[in-house]
Structure 1
Amino acid sequence: MGSNQSTGSGALESYREVIGLTGPLLPVVSFLGRLPTATVQFGSVLLIARTSGSLAAAGLTGGALAVGQVACGPLVGRLADRHGQRTVVLVFCLVNAIAIAALVAGALAGAAPPVLALLGAAAGASVPLIGPLARARLVALARRAGAPEPTVSAALSFESTLDEVSFVLGPALVGLAAVLAHPAYALTGAAVLVAGCGTAFALHPTARTTAAPATGTPGGPRPRLPMPRAVHALRASLALQGAMFGACQAGITALTERLGRPEQAGLVYAAMGVMSAVAGLAMAAVPARLGLRTRWRTATAVAFALSLPLLWTQSLTGLYVVVTVLGIAYAPHLITVFALTERAVPRARLAEAMAFATSAIVGGQALALAATGRLAESHGPVAAFATASGAAALACATALAARPAPYAGRAGTAHHARVDDARGGARS
């Protein structure tokens, strides 16, 4: 009992230290600034479906938006590493707000599907990726302050929880707007949020932490350090988790439609997101002696095991129970892989690595949703759920086979703590 209280108070203290690093304003503006990313994908599909009456056009636009984000996400991170977050976020927030507004205007004006797809691609390509950049900024603040490893882990847990909440709240707000008025209102609100709160995030004093690096040699730019091979396995694991997201979403949609309750799909998915957010917050209480690779393997194994009951789920109540419990494994996996990524890459390429990781999730989700949506139509929800379990199994195999280690750069460039697995690091 006393040990549990001590662990809980330790987690609360870690979160207090995280807020102490940022101040209370930054988490608020970063959360509101990343909310449009979770809103635009779903909102664009509903908007085009409502205005054109064509699900094919809606799917084309939503797919183009996802492709744009996946293709350009790493570029946003790379530019932020090279030029600092302030300038990059300001430019992308402005362009993204204009692109979203143009997509709304085009849909309301009845533009042709190719035009809407092009506007969707522009909206996706210009996403400022405030979530990954906030994660990179917070880790940089913690490292600069010499914070202990539990605080760095709490920072990653905190940021992942904000992501989870945004991806639950975003689609819910879109759905509410669609029911009460029109999806265009949700997308217009997203444009306003990304312009206003994204700008506030860019101008926050902590942006100085991620200012453009000084030149490495007189008269020349700092050499671009290579990305270690270890990150490929981490990105693959995140892409597979994204695929599990997408396949579950398709299966949930198909099963609720079969049960005659299609309006419940969003609520079921939200229940999983809420449980995932709770599990993410609880990660700060995990003992440091449980190493990152052990956590990675455990999270993927639990995700695979908890996905299997989906194959035999046939009722709405059962779906709620199984999907909600499955949410336990999601955030811990994300938090752990982001922590491994932070330790595996050069500090000068952290924002790029975080952006690439996020793009891997989005890409995996989009591809799986497109593929399993058709599978679910022809073979029922069990086909989509089987795909989700397959993706979880591959993620588990990846975690068992990979051996990511802390970045070992040139002298003076390795700013990360070198911690072995027994103390919460990346080795075993």
Structure 2
Amino acid sequence: MPQGTPDQSTCRDAAPGTLQTYREVIALSGALLPLISFLGRLPTAIIQMGSVLMVTRTSGSLATGGMVACALALGQVAMGPFVGRLADRHGQRRVVLVFALLNAVAIGAFTASALLGAVTPLLVLLGALAGASVPGIGPLARARVVALARRRRADDRLADAVMSLESTMDEVSFVLGPAAVGLAAVVGHPAYAMLLAAFLVAVCGTGFALHPTARTLEPAHADQQGKGSREQPRARAAEERARARGARRRMPRQVYVVRVGLVLLGVLLGGCGAGITALTEELGRPDQAGLVYAAMGVMSAVVGLSMVALPDRIGLLLRWRVATATAALLSLPLVWTESLAGLYFVVTVFGAVFAPNLITGFGLTERAVPRERLAEGMTFASSAFVGGQAVTLAVAGRLAESYGPAAAFAVGSTAAALAFVVALATRPGQGGGADQDTDPGAAPDRAVLGVPSEQTA
């Protein structure tokens, strides 16, 4: 070991402060990438609520607005894993560039059609296309920065910090996105926010695609083109064989277990969203719904940033169990909440559970998926959460109309309890984590959740 170089184990034992940890995370990619990726994921939050308000205003029907928004969400859920798979096979640069431009055009066409009074089936189709073309900048940013950390032999602490920062940016985007829509609706028209979303995804999506870190997950032969080296054909063949093995390797079973947990977390959030909307309307204060969401999101973001302070001895499986149990307990008071002040208090406290659940779910996914399918794993995890939320918003909304806000909150609380059962029934692993320090390209340790991986013959 060179003189003056600290021992790796010593570095890991010296738990740095939270701010220092986040400085290390930002140093992995530079300060520009987090900014671009944050602005690039804002359109996803804008178009979900923006589609409801815009179509409701132009058509005069809340049911039509909800139907179009559901089609948009389902389009995103259906195509999200495919976008991740393309990024794994062809690199993020080309895939994000194409989908960002497609998404900008799709949002623009959808907005223009709504303003021109297009028929409902056309709006549903264009809404689904706007959702299906989402470039998935959030989950792809997770995959990119985690890959940077692993290639620099970073330990699990830094990888977990990446998840915390990325989840916090998601939370903040889902606070600012609806806020932008609400402001546009007050100032002029929700379509203004939709046009802003089209602009942001075109500019920031392009910036995210062309950022130098996009080469982190590029196929090796893409970096070697034009060098004229005699080793190029051999390196290309080896890379193609490695990627072929990765494509044949099935996802380990624990990945599907985590996805079930994320679907249930989406159901929890969807039930809470429907209940909050219904209760504020019942109290004659529908304008307060957005502020209640914001209070929940701010609390979630604060707790998410503090997750890196947890000691390493508290493993991901234990965190998952504690987070789901806490979500189940803190969601129960919502069922009996009947006042606006009580709603603010209960929802703000309850907001503390979302970021730990999301961060842990993405962390477990990152430990389990094969390196060659990291982007696909992240986008699928994100789609599982969004899908559970989208479907539940529609179902719980109807329940709230028929039986009151408590019914919607009960749906979410039941989902949280089921998520805890799933986490509790999962047996702990023997390895205790991913063995990433020997080979950054190797598949991680499958013992994180104690379920053996499967491979095709």
Pick the TM interval, shorter chain: over 0.9
RMSD over equivalenced CA pairs, Å: 2.2
| 1:127 aligned counterpart, secondary structure | coil
Matched, 1:373 2:389: no
Instruction: Tell me the distance in 1 between the aligned counterparts of 2:446 and 2:81.
Output: 27
**Is 2:219–2:239's contact at 8 Å kept on the other side of the alignment?**
no
| Equivalence map 1:289-304=2 (5 Å) | 289-304=313-328
- Pair 1:47-2:74 in alignment: no
Aligned to 1:182: 189
In the alignment, is the contact (CA less than 8 A) between 1:69 and 1:124 conserved in 2? yes
Cross-structure match for 2:352: 328
Contact 2:369/2:444 (<8 A) preserved: no
Partner of 2:312, secondary structure, is coil
Q: Tell me by how many angstroms 1:56 deviates.
A: 2.0
Give the one of 257, 266, 270 matched to 2:294.
Answer: 270
Name the count of aligned residue pairs: 418
**Would the alpha carbon gap of residues 284 and 106 (structure 1) be closer, same or farther in structure 2, given more than 3 Å must change?**
same
1:240 has 2:264 as partner: yes
Alignment of 1:217-228 (within 5 A): 217=238, 222-223=244-245, 224=247, 225-228=249-252
String of CA shifts for 1:285-330, please: whole Å, max 9, x gaps.
Answer: 0011101100000000000000011111111010001001011111
> TM-score, normalization: structure 1?
0.93
| Structure-2 residue corresponding to 1:67 | 74
Deviation at 1:13, TM superposition (A): 1.3
Matching residue's letter, 2:198: A
Query: Residue 283 and residue 419 in structure 1: after superposition, are their counterparts in 2 closer, same or farther (change >3 A)?
Result: farther
User: Could you tell me how far 1:210 is from its partner in structure 2?
Assistant: 1.1
Aligned residue runs from structure 1 range 28-427, under 5 A? 28-213=35-220, 217=238, 222-223=244-245, 224=247, 225-403=249-427, 415=442, 418=445
Where has structure 1 moved over 4 Å in runs of 4 or more? Answer: 6-9, 213-221, 404-409, 411-414, 416-420, 425-428
- Cα distance in 2, alignment partners of residues 212 and 43 from structure 1: 37
- Over alpha carbons, which structure has the higher Rg? 2
> Structure 1 108/8 Cα, relative in aligned 2: closer, same or farther at 3 Å?
farther
Given residue 364 of structure 2, which amino acid in structure 1 is its aligned partner? L
Contact 1:83 1:213 in 2 (8 A): no
Amino acid in the other structure paired with 1:222: A
Contact 2:150-2:440 at 8 Å conserved across structures: no
8 Å contact from structure 2 (residues 435, 444) kept in 1: no
TM-aligned CA deviation for residue 218 of structure 1:
8.2
The Cα shift of 1:148 comes to 2.0
Match of 2:30 among 23, 27, 34: 23
Shift of 1:64: 0.8
Q: Distance between the aligned counterparts of 2:73 and 2:280, measured in 1?
A: 25
Question: What is the letter of the counterpart of residue 22 of structure 2?
Answer: Y
Q: CA deviation at 1:77?
A: 0.2
Mapped partners of 1:156, 1:219: distance in 2: 29
Cα contact 2:323–2:357 (8 A) shared by 1: yes
Aligned counterpart, 2:10: none
Does the aligned pair in 2 maintain the 1:408–1:414 contact within 8 Å?
no
Q: Following the alignment from structure 1 to structure 2, what is the Cα–Cα distance between the partners of residues 394 and 287?
A: 27
**Preserved CA contact (<8 Å) 2:58 2:117:** yes
Matched-pair contact (CA < 8 Å) for 1:340–1:404: no
Flag structure 2 segments of 5+ consecutive residues without an equivalent.
1-12, 222-235, 452-457
CA drift at 1:418: 4.7
Q: Deviations over 1:330-375 (max 9, x none)?
A: 1011101111110111000000000000000110001111000000
Q: How far apart in 2 are the matches of 1:8 and 1:266? A: 38
Cα deviation, residue 200, structure 1: 0.3
Displacement after TM superposition at 1:222 (Å): 2.3
Kindly provide the amino acid, as one letter, of the partner of residue 22 in structure 1.
S
User: Which residue of the partner structure matches residue 3 of structure 1?
Assistant: none
